[in-house]
Structure 1
Amino acid sequence: MPRLLIVAHAPSANTLRLREAAERGAHHPDIEDVEVVVKAPLEAGPEDVLACDAILLGTTENLGYMSGALKDFFDRSYYPVLEEKQGLPCALYIRAGRDGTGTRRAVEGIVTGLRWKWAQEPLTLRGKWQDAFAEQVEELSMAVAAGLEAGVI
């Protein structure tokens, strides 16, 4: 059974809602044959990446960059997975108080270096909190899980 790894930073109630929405989307009733593993970036490591078939990343925008926790995850995982996980399907959502451009650029640079492939376009949730953000993350996660189940990503 293919495994979707969700690594998402959730330092607030709203970002926790986003991580929960990602998990809910991956567990959609129509998706039966995908194992879902959800971890905070400081709990996830290279062994989790090596064991997955796709990854969904979630981060806040912190001073125009990704969260320190997600950066730490990449720092610990980059070299141990570099050769073995090239082509790993990935997706990203960013909770951005401003525009998220620097955050997206930083994650895209690391993803390019790892030679992962985008399964979905990165999703940037800009500005003040909106309940629709959780729905968008749920849809993103559902699309990744469905693609993984169907073998198209």
Structure 2
Amino acid sequence: MTETRKKILVLYHTQSGNTEKLAHAVSTGANQEAECEVRTLMAFQASLADLLWAEGILFGTPENFGYMSGALKDFFDRTYYPAEPYNLNIPFGLFISAGNDGTGAEREVQRIVKGYPFRQVIPTLICKGDVNEEHLEAAKVLGQTLAAGLSMGIF
């Protein structure tokens, strides 16, 4: 029997370390699903090849001036047009480490990813203030939910 593990890309940027903590929790949750393979990368490390590999994506960004991080925007800038011929219809989730309300970052990521087109299958997780245990548990559930949905063929 051939192995049909679903491939999840956790793609994030961090400066303070808060988004990185969330990314590791998201990855931990996704890795709990035995039928998934998880690749966790910082935005500057990722490329089109990573998008073509992924069957599901979890984007993570801090809220910077009411916007996504420059590194995540750079990733979108580097991959958008090269990805266009592939018409990627990848399910995604989003997690945000916010100092304010996170809605500006959420709105702008959602606006950009529609063009790939990716489809959001899980509500955005916005963690306000310093990352705490409640945020980490919610991030873990986010990763686990995407992984389970992919494994069961729901997403």
| Shorter-chain TM band | over 0.9
Tell whether the 8 Å contact from 1:99 to 1:127 is kept in structure 2 after alignment. Answer: no
1:84, distance to aligned residue in structure 2 (A): 1.3
In the superposition, the TM-score normalised over structure 1's length comes to 0.93
Cα deviation code 1:1-52 (max 9, x no counterpart): 2200000112223322111101110111xx1111110000000011100111
Q: Determine the structure 2 residue equivalent to 1:63.
A: 65
> Aligned partners of 1:85 and 1:93: how far apart in 2?
24
Runs (5+) with no aligned partner, structure 1: none
Q: Determine the structure 1 residue equivalent to 2:140.
A: 138
Q: Determine the structure 1 residue equivalent to 2:94.
A: 92
Runs (5+) with no aligned partner, structure 2: none
Tell whether the 8 Å contact from 2:19 to 2:96 is kept in structure 1 after alignment. Answer: no
Aligned length: 151
1:128, distance to aligned residue in structure 2 (A): 4.2
1:76, distance to aligned residue in structure 2 (A): 0.6
> Aligned partners of 2:19 and 2:95: how far apart in 1?
11
1:86, distance to aligned residue in structure 2 (A): 2.9
Question: What is the SS of the residue equivalent to 2:45?
Answer: coil
> Aligned partners of 1:128 and 1:79: how far apart in 2?
35
Cα deviation code 1:58-106 (max 9, x no counterpart): 0000001000110011111111112314321011001110011111110
Q: Determine the structure 2 residue equivalent to 1:103.
A: 105
> Aligned partners of 1:119 and 1:75: how far apart in 2?
23
Equivalent of 1:23 in 21, 27, 33 = 27
1:146, distance to aligned residue in structure 2 (A): 0.8
Q: Determine the structure 2 residue equivalent to 1:5.
A: 9
> Aligned partners of 1:137 and 1:83: how far apart in 2?
32
Question: What is the SS of the residue equivalent to 1:147?
Answer: helix
In the superposition, the TM-score normalised over structure 2's length comes to 0.92
Identity %: 39
> Aligned partners of 1:19 and 1:13: how far apart in 2?
10
> Aligned partners of 1:131 and 1:22: how far apart in 2?
13
Tell whether the 8 Å contact from 2:18 to 2:130 is kept in structure 1 after alignment. Answer: no
